[in-house]
Every structure is written in structure tokens, then in C-alpha cells.
Amino acid sequence: MISDVIKIYSERSADFVQYFLQHLTLVMTAVLFITIIGLTLGIIMTYNRQLANVVLAVTGFLYTIPSIAMFGFLVFITGIGNTSAIIAIAIYGILPLVRNTYVGIKEVSPNVIEAATGMGSTPVQLLFRIQLPLAAPVIMAGFRTTVVMTIALGGIASFIGAGGLGVPIWRGIAVNNRALTVAGSLLIALLAVTVDALLNLVEKYMRKKLYGKQERKNI
């Protein structure tokens, strides 16, 4: 099996480079939309508890829908291709970021907010200079989950003609070529693990920087 996978990589290297670039494009586009919408919603939710309950309930419900069913449903609305895939991936990937943004900001100590307000900070200054920086590690954890999830879901996107590393997986299944299926799956797994490790380092750095500053202040 291993030799067959290596042979496929060797003989179809140009195809796999194309699949890989398609997968990256799909993932980065979805993550961009998720980040913009997720951060915005998460911030707005901190000012409206009823909205927060509704958004978390809706995103939580959508998260439970099987991915194949979601992809199939969107085909009837936006057609076959990248658009449906990006929308579906964004729907699944937005929950961790929205939730962590909301929770991270809400967990900022009221004493810190009160002190900053007492020193004359405006709501905008309070958000960007106090709340978001202190919530950054929690938000980063949600972002990390979102990105890894998006990479994995990108493999299913080829089911509706979106391209990416899911193409060799589905083709392998269709023609009963296990080596081809493994070749596509392995690259998705390696990409997910690599990105997860890199984002984990960023998250640890942010936590160390934040808590290091707090310790120095306490001293």
C-alpha cells in the first residue's frame, strides 16, 4: 500500500500540486469569511445577551446537520462548485470562533473594565485596547479549531465539484483504488496536523505574552 501511494505521488505529482493549491484556496477563502463574520458576531453578542443566545443556538443547530446533507442542500440553492462549498464550510466552521470570541470577551475581569473606564477609555478603546487583547488567546483557540475543521471539511467539498484534495479521495472510492484514496486523505491529514501545530505555537505564545505581563504587573 505504501509503495502504491508513493508511486501515485510520483506519477501524478502535477495533479496533486493542483489539488493542494485548490484546497488551500478553498480553505483560505472560507476562513476569511468565517473570521470576518465570526469576530463581528462574537463582539456584537457581548452587548446583547438575547442575540447571543439566538446566534449560539442557531449555529449549534447547523453544526449538528450532517455535512453531506448540507452540501447536497446548498447545491439546489447556489449550484455545484466553490460557492456552495465555501458557504457550507463557513456554516460549520463559524461556531468555534463565534463562541470563543463571545466567551473570551465576557471573561475579561469586570475590575479591569471598570478601571479602564474610570481612566476615561471610550467603548471603542475599551474593546480594542483591553477586551480583545485579553481575550486573544481564547479567540485564537477557537480560530485554531475552525481552521483545522475547515481543512478537513474541504475534503468533502469535491463531492459537489469544488476541487481540492478530496478529488483523489472520491475518485479512488469510485474506481476502488485504495491507494489513490489514501494519497488524498494523507495530504489532508498532514496539512491539518501541520497547521494545527503552527497555530498551537501561536496560541501558546499569546498566552505566555499575556500571562507574563500579568505576572510582571503583580510583582
The kind and range of the H/E element at 213 are helix 178-218
Tens digits of per-residue pLDDT, 134-182? 999 999 999 999 999 999 988 888 888 788 898 999 888 888 888 899 9
The dihedral region occupied by 120, where left means phi > 0, alpha psi between -120 and 50, and beta the remainder, is: left
Determine the CATH number of domain 2-213: 1.10.3720.10
Nearest Cα residue to 189 out of 218, 161, 214, 155: 155
* Stretch 177-188: mean pLDDT: 91
pLDDT at site 4: 82
* Stretch 70-93: mean pLDDT: 86
pLDDT at site 215: 46
Residue 216 has pLDDT above 80, yes or no: no
pLDDT at site 196: 95
The kind and range of the H/E element at 182 are helix 178-218
Contact of 168 with 16, CB cutoff 8 Å: yes
* Stretch 62-74: mean pLDDT: 84
* Stretch 123-131: mean pLDDT: 87
Tens digits of per-residue pLDDT, 26-64? 999 999 999 999 999 999 999 999 999 999 999 999 888
Q: How confident is the model at residue 123 (pLDDT cuts 50, 70, 90)?
A: confident
pLDDT at site 113: 86
pLDDT at site 70: 84
Distances (CA, A) of 13 to 25, 169, 184, 193: 18, 15, 12, 21
* Stretch 68-82: mean pLDDT: 83
DSSP characters over 127-171 = IIIIIHHHHHHHHHHHHHHHHHHHHHHHHHHGGGT--STHHHHHH
Domain ranges of the chain: 2-213
Q: How confident is the model at residue 218 (pLDDT cuts 50, 70, 90)?
A: very low
